[in-house]
Structure 1
Amino acid sequence: MEFPFDINVLFPDRITVLDQNLTTGRKFLGRPDHQHQIATVIDELGKASAQAQDLAAPITSAEKLQSNRHYLYLLKNGEGNRGRGVAVGYLKVGFKNLFLLDQQGAHVETEPLCVLDFFVAERMQRHGYGLELFRFMLRNKRVDPVQLAYDRPSPKFLSFLEKHCGLKDAVPQVNNFVVFDGFFRNRSAVPVRKVPPKKPEGEIKPYSLTEREALREEQKALPWPFARPQAPPHSPPLSQNSACSRSLSVGSSPTRAPLRLTPASGAYRGQAPQNQLIDGVNYRARRTSSLNRSRLSFQ
């Protein structure tokens, strides 16, 4: 892909590695427009890649590269375009946290290096540029092709991996990523998180206001005769220190005043002394005996 500016000035090496800072390691003396030109190259290559893969929108752009910790390997041909260089293609990689299925169907949580986008210009294909770019990334990251996860690879890319890397036995996944047999070597499966069972209605605490209100609203929604009247709420406990405390229950009588000892008599206030109780019992017994004698005399 040709541009109206010099590619060789922007990208010093044949394959240049760009990060989120869009820097190439070369100091641009007095040329603030070079950063804008680098962004232009990335954006145009991203649009061409989306068009080649029939995507609705580009998945690679300078803005997306700046907002993510991805790495873009850009390949150029420095002799093309009358010595100003030609952008051949790029390869974008980055780490992703993924939940994948192994050969036994168990979930594996892993964060592998992923190939996120791979593009070589149409008229530059079948010249070995793609293989050169891919092998450079493998050496730079010190990784084997089977250890990578591939994000939505095109049919051409799958054929490329089978031809040059021998990767053809893909493990089926439920997401857009493709991994091959051998990816799960030295990776252990993790159990799926179980959802706690729903608490039965019989375990609802009677003093929990929140659960009581929720149950009341649920029973209001039930049709007759399934709706049942609610029992009155429990009364709060009474304080034993208050002498004038009364029960909050309907129809209950006031509580008696607490019994207290008087210094003089030693008896409880509100209760008759013991000798008075004994005299009352003797008086009732004598009166009953007198009445019985009177009845006998009349007979």
Structure 2
Amino acid sequence: MEFPFDVNALFPERITVLDHNLTAGRKALGRQDPQQQIATVIDELGKASAKAQQLAAPITTAVKLQTNRHHLYLLKEGESNGGKGVVVGFLKVGYKKLFLLDQQGVHVETEPLCVLDFFVTENLQRHGYGLELFSFMLQHKRVEPVRMAYDRPSAKFLSFLGKHYGLKDCVPQVNNFVVFDGFFRDKSAVQLRKALPKKPEGEIKPYSLTEREVVREEQRALPWPFARPTAPPLSPPLSLSSPYSRSLSVDSSPSRGPFRGSPAPGPYRSQTPHSQYIENMNCRARRTSSLNRSQISFH
């Protein structure tokens, strides 16, 4: 494919690797690469490739290359067109996350290197340019053809892969990509992992059965303002002369002094039901002891 500008000055190398920056591997004549001319070459090659594959729109454009992490390998023939050179063809590759079917029909998630577009001008086909371009890409990416996926390959491309690389037995897929027998053999090479099965749609359960039982038990109980906590059982009263009264008082209340009998009389003495009960018991004990002494003196 010829262009009005000097292709050799634009692409110093025989095969130039372009990325999203649209810059050649070396600077042409010590100046910046004219990106507008490079974009023109990419757009014209994309249109020719779409026409050859009978596509409605080009799948390779300069804008798409700038917005994706793809690599485009461009091959030129420098001696043609009066020394200005011509562009022979291009090959575009990139990594894609795919859901593929293996030989057993199991869905597998993988992200292999994919051939996205491949084109050689019609008047220069069957001259070895396609094989030169494809072999350069394999060496640059350090990948085997069987480890790659191919996006909508044409009949000519499939024949090319079978003739030069022995790729003939493909694994059927439901998408536009083609992989061949041997793609799933070494799972570490293509970074495979089985896709998780989708959960069956059904009733949404916000919590488990055990948690729901706990909620039901809590709902049966009265809420806080109406709940009546059970009072702890009353301990048996201790008499004032009990040997344990002193120790209990010291252990249970370290900040207070030891119990020294009944509290001092006065206006600040507090009468609790428990203290009144102890005082009544003491009064009964004194009356009983005095009654016993009177009976003994009577007899």
TM-score range, shorter chain: 0.5 to 0.7
| CA deviation map 1:140-170 (0-9, x unaligned) | 1111111110011011101111111111100
Q: Secondary structure at the match of 2:139?
A: helix
In the TM superposition, what whole-angstrom CA distance separates every residue of 1:114-144 from its partner, at most 9, and x where no partner exists? 1010000111111111111111111111111
Query: What SS class does the counterpart of residue 239 from structure 1 fall into?
Result: helix
**1:69-89 superposed Cα distances (whole Å, 9 cap, x missing partner):** 111100001011111000010
Tell me the amino acid that sits aligned with residue 239 of structure 1: P
Q: In the alignment, is the contact (CA less than 8 A) between 1:106 and 1:189 conserved in 2? A: no
The SS at the match of 2:223 is: coil
Question: Partner of 2:202 in structure 1?
Answer: 198
Rounded Cα–Cα distance in structure 2 between residues aligned with 1:82 and 1:236: 98
Unpaired segments ≥5 residues, structure 1: 209-233, 242-262, 268-299
Contact kept, 8 Å, 2:11 with 2:28, in 1: the verdict is: no
Q: Distance in 2 between matches of 1:120 and 1:195?
A: 47
Shift of 1:56: 1.0
| Overall identity of the aligned pairs, in % | 69
State the match for 2:5 in structure 1.
Answer: 5
When the two chains are superposed, the root-mean-square deviation of aligned CA atoms in Å is 3.3
Which residue in the other structure is 2:117 paired with?
A: 117
Measure the CA separation in 2 of the matches of 1:45 and 1:78. Answer: 17
User: Which structure shows the higher helix fraction?
Assistant: 2
TM superposition shift of 1:265: 9.2
Letter in 1 for 2:94: G
1:107–1:189 Cα contact (<8 Å) kept: no
Corresponding residue number in structure 2 for 1:293? none
Partner residue, 2:225: 239
1:265–1:40 distance in 2 versus 1, CA, 3 Å: closer
* Matched residue, 2:296: none
Amino acid at match of 2:199: V
State the AA in 1 paired with 2:161: L
In the alignment, does 2:133 pair up with 1:129?
no
Shifted more, 68-77 versus 132-141: the winner is 132-141
Shift of 1:67: 0.8
How many equivalent residue pairs?
Answer: 227
Is residue 28–residue 34 contact of structure 1 (8 Å, CA) maintained in 2?
no
Instruction: State the distance in 1 between where 2:33 and 2:71 align.
Output: 22
CA separation of 1:52 and 1:236: change in aligned 2, threshold 3 A: farther
- TM-score, length basis structure 2: 0.67
Instruction: Quote the Cα distance in structure 2 between the aligned partners of 1:52 and 1:10.
Output: 26
